[in-house]
């Protein structure tokens, strides 16, 4: 693997991480600011359906899968440099768990602690055969998705990320666009079939019961979780294909910076949402569409911040702390210091 190929691969992964963060904030803001339930027949109700059809269970899946890819890359690069990759990864997960313990106090249900624990669980699979990881990961994901076991789907998704790293899926991906196009086409067809069926499950009487936990409501949400990995796979394939077009890649370049600072931006999303809720007294006052507008403002601020920050610094602020705590080294963060 030459350095140019590695950089291209990392660019693709950063774009994908940034894309995943765009969807995550749309879902997280709902419980965090106690967004009001929609009134029947309104734009809010339409947006509610949109979230459960195209966002919920889609973007966290991508983010989790990419965590597994990053897991493989981290240990592989460390060992290639003669370092103890396994020990460094254990330290890295411990630090991530500490970040999560702080974050969860402000954002119940956050993902960092779950990712850290799952990282410890899947560590032995780094040495497992790639075909074993792929098949076992697919079988486990299929079984858990049938039961809509969202929290437990984290482990097989990460396992598939490790397998993707072992198969070097993102290495030289620009030369594999035909295979990516075929894969994306298949996922598109499966997604359309799944989404049409999920739409048919959309509650017709939920307006009258205020979105209570009715049987049909649970069916609608659970089936959305079941088909989540398929829709996510389509999103990933489509974005990878679009990134092969230079003008599109240039337009989406802020997304790469956004994803490169994924840890910082994930936590900053919570900070901005809580600040907006506190300062503007938005708790329990926002409608669904208003929550979208607030998310849009936060994302634009973060995209600008990330792009400017990485013009002067090598890492995001929390990524820098994470690296130093992992390696037990003082690392320079400013670009001019690394020249």
Q: In the prediction, which pLDDT does 209 show?
A: 44
Q: In the prediction, which pLDDT does 159 show?
A: 98
The CA distances from residue 272 to 187, 261, 266, 278, 304, in Å, are 35, 16, 10, 10, 14
**How large a percentage of the chain has pLDDT more than 90?**
83
**Structure confidence by residue, pLDDT tens digits, 199-241:** 998 875 454 444 555 777 888 999 999 999 999 999 999 999 9
In order, the DSSP letters of 295-306 are HHHHHHHHHHHH
Residue 334 has phi, psi (to 5 degrees) of: -80, 140
In order, the DSSP letters of 195-255 are HHHHHHTS-SSHHHHTS---HHHHHHHHHHHHTHHHHHHHHHHHHHHHTTSHHHHHHTHHH
**Structure confidence by residue, pLDDT tens digits, 121-169:** 999 999 999 999 999 999 999 999 999 999 999 999 999 999 999 999 9
Q: Tell me, rounded to whole angstroms, the distance of Cα 303 from its chain centroid.
A: 16
Q: In the prediction, which pLDDT does 40 show?
A: 82
List the alpha helices (DSSP H) in the chain.
3-32, 43-50, 59-80, 85-104, 112-122, 130-146, 154-166, 177-200, 206-209, 215-226, 228-242, 246-251, 253-260, 262-279, 288-312, 317-327
**Structure confidence by residue, pLDDT tens digits, 105-120:** 999 989 999 999 999 9
Q: 89 pLDDT exceeds 60?
A: yes
* Helix orientation angle between 288-312 and 262-279, rounded to the nearest 10 degrees: 130
Torsion angle defined by CA atoms of residues 145, 299, 251 and 332, in that order, rounded to the nearest 10 degrees: -100
Quickly count: other Cβ atoms within 10 Å of residue 113's Cβ.
Answer: 17
DSSP state of 313: B
Q: In the prediction, which pLDDT does 207 show?
A: 46
Where is average pLDDT lowest: 9-23, 171-185, 187-201, 324-338? 324-338
**How large a percentage of the chain has pLDDT more than 70?**
93
pLDDT band per the 50, 70, 90 thresholds, residue 7? very low
Q: In the prediction, which pLDDT does 229 show?
A: 97
Q: In the prediction, which pLDDT does 335 show?
A: 84
pLDDT band per the 50, 70, 90 thresholds, residue 337? low
Q: In the prediction, which pLDDT does 47 show?
A: 94
Average pLDDT, the chain: 92
Q: In the prediction, which pLDDT does 109 show?
A: 87
User: Residue 313 pairs with which residues in a beta bridge?
Assistant: 334
**Exposed / middle / buried, residue 61 (Cβ in 10 Å: 0-12, 13-18, 19+):** buried
């Amino acid at each position: 693997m030459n350095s140019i190929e590695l950089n291209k691969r990392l660019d693709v992964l950063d774009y994908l991480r940034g894309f995943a963060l765009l969807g995550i904030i749309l879902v997280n803001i709902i419980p965090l600011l106690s967004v009001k339930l929609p009134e029947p027949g309104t734009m809010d109700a339409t947006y509610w359906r949109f979230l459960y059809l195209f966002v919920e269970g889609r973007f966290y899946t991508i983010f989790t899968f990419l965590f597994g890819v990053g897991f493989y890359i981290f240990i592989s690069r460390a060992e290639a440099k003669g370092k103890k990759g396994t020990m460094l990864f254990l330290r890295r997960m411990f630090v991530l768990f500490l970040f999560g313990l702080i974050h969860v106090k402000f954002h119940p249900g956050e993902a960092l602690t779950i990712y850290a624990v799952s990282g410890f669980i899947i560590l032995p699979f780094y040495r497992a055969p790639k075909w074993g990881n792929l098949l076992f990961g697919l079988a486990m994901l299929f079984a858990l998705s049938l039961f809509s076991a969202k929290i437990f789907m984290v482990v097989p998704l990460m396992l598939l990320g490790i397998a993707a790293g072992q198969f070097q899926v993102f290495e030289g991906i620009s030369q594999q666009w035909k295979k990516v196009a075929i894969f994306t086409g298949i996922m598109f067809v499966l997604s359309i079939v799944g989404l049409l069926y999920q739409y048919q499950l959309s509650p017709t009487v939920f307006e009258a019961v205020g979105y209570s936990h009715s049987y049909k409501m649970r069916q609608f949400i659970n089936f959305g979780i079941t088909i989540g990995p398929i829709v996510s796979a389509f999103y990933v394939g489509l974005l990878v294909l679009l990134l092969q077009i230079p003008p599109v890649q240039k337009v989406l370049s802020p997304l790469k910076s956004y994803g490169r600072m994924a840890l910082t931006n994930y936590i900053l999303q919570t900070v901005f949402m809580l600040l907006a809720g506190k300062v503007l007294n938005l708790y329990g006052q926002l409608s669904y569409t208003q929550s979208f507008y607030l998310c849009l403002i936060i994302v634009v601020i973060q995209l600008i911040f990330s792009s400017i920050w990485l013009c002067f610094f090598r890492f995001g602020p929390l990524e820098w702390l994470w690296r130093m705590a992992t390696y037990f080294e003082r690392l320079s963060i400013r670009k001019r210091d690394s020249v």
